[in-house]
Amino acid sequence: MGDPAPIAVTGAAGFLGSAILDAAAEAGVPVRAVLREGSTLPGGGREGVEVIACGLDDPEALRAAFRGCRAVVHAAASMRGDGRDPTATVLDAVRGEDRPLVLISSLSVYGFEALEPGDALTEDRLRFDSAGETGRDAYAALKLGQERHAEALAERHHPVVVLRPGVIVGPGRRWSARLGVAKGPLAVRIGGGAAVPLIDVADCGRAAVRAAVLEPQPGFRAFNLVGDDTPTQRAYLRRIRREAGVKAILPVPAGLIARAGRLLHPLLGRRLPGILRPAAFDARFKPLRYPNDQARAAGLL
């Protein structure tokens, strides 16, 4: 038997991309790392990793980079310098081949305004309406757009797996906007009792590799990626305080911010800071439960 076919990984030089390479090495899965021109892997070359430099806006170069790969994991950062998202071009390069696509999305695609406090955020919940919910941030809109591109690919019976991580944390990256606002050594904590849907970057990397080697199934499958540890905002901020450089914590009741947002939003709309827009506030601070049953059943976690 020959060597196993590699998986292609876009964004392999990033925070999550590096973890995907680690997980692939751990699993004995070779990787073709697709990097933007001028990018390099942190720490230099890696055994079992072939580096291909090409623009993510060049479908022909991407087709050549993906040729011979068993799956494509699209983990590249959403935004380019010109503000455009390369996902449509990446998916165009995948189209017409049987190799599965694994898209790294986010929990941010869900319609949090429709959920009640204490609800479980599961994969069957509706995503937000980009036309109706004008208060969501650019990141959420981009992730929703990426999923729509992936759905169009899946409608052609292409195998598509979408992973929706919660708050990806790891060495050097512990803070989350779900805690509130950080201003230097001061943390303004909004609320305190809402669960923070953490996923360690190493576990997220393993899930991406496992998704890439799943038995392909035509169509669209989505999985939320959240670890078993979902501490409250209060508990998590205490845990990371030293590493995050937080010297003082100012607690602010979530209800106070929510009421202010509801009063001001009809008057100011998108001129409000994100934290005061009801849709964005709910996405960050609404207290929910985050089961991971489906990802566990699929063997991703």
**Predicted confidence (pLDDT) per residue in 224-244, tens digit:** 999 999 999 999 999 999 999
Is pLDDT above 80 for 60?
A: yes
The CATH homologous superfamily for domain 7-171+197-229+288-298 is: NAD(P)-binding Rossmann-like Domain (3.40.50.720)
Phi, psi of 286 (to 5 degrees): -65, 130
pLDDT of residue 103: 98
In this model, does residue 165 exceed pLDDT 50? yes
Question: Strands 159-165, 186-190: parallel, antiparallel or unpaired by DSSP?
Answer: unpaired
pLDDT above 90 for 130 = no
Q: What is the mean pLDDT of the chain?
A: 91
What are residue 183's DSSP bridge partners?
186
> Which pLDDT does position 274 carry in this prediction?
80
Instruction: Please name the helix (run of DSSP H) or strand (run of DSSP E) that holds residue 203, with its range, or none.
Output: helix 201-212
Taking only the tens place, the pLDDT of each residue in 2-37 is 578 999 999 999 999 999 999 999 999 999 999 988
Residues 213-220: what's their mean pLDDT? 94
> Counting every residue, how long is the chain?
301
- Burial classification of residue 190, based on how many CB atoms lie within 10 Å of its CB (0-12 exposed, 13-18 middle, 19 or more buried): buried
How high is the pLDDT of residue 286?
97
For residue 39, the model assigns a pLDDT of: 81
More confident residue, 36 or 61: 61
Q: Would you kindly state where each structural domain of the chain is located, as residue ranges?
A: 7-171+197-229+288-298
Residue type, 33: A
Q: How far, in Å, CA of 34 to CA of 69, rounded? A: 12
3-state secondary structure of 150: helix
The pLDDT of residue 81:
46
Tell me: pLDDT of 43 over 80. no
Residue with tokens 């599961």: 122
End-to-end CA distance of the chain: 29
Looking at per-residue pLDDT, the higher value among 271 and 260 belongs to 260
Integer Cα distance of 36 and 56 in angstroms:
7
**DSSP state, residue 245:** T
Q: Model-level pTM?
A: 0.93
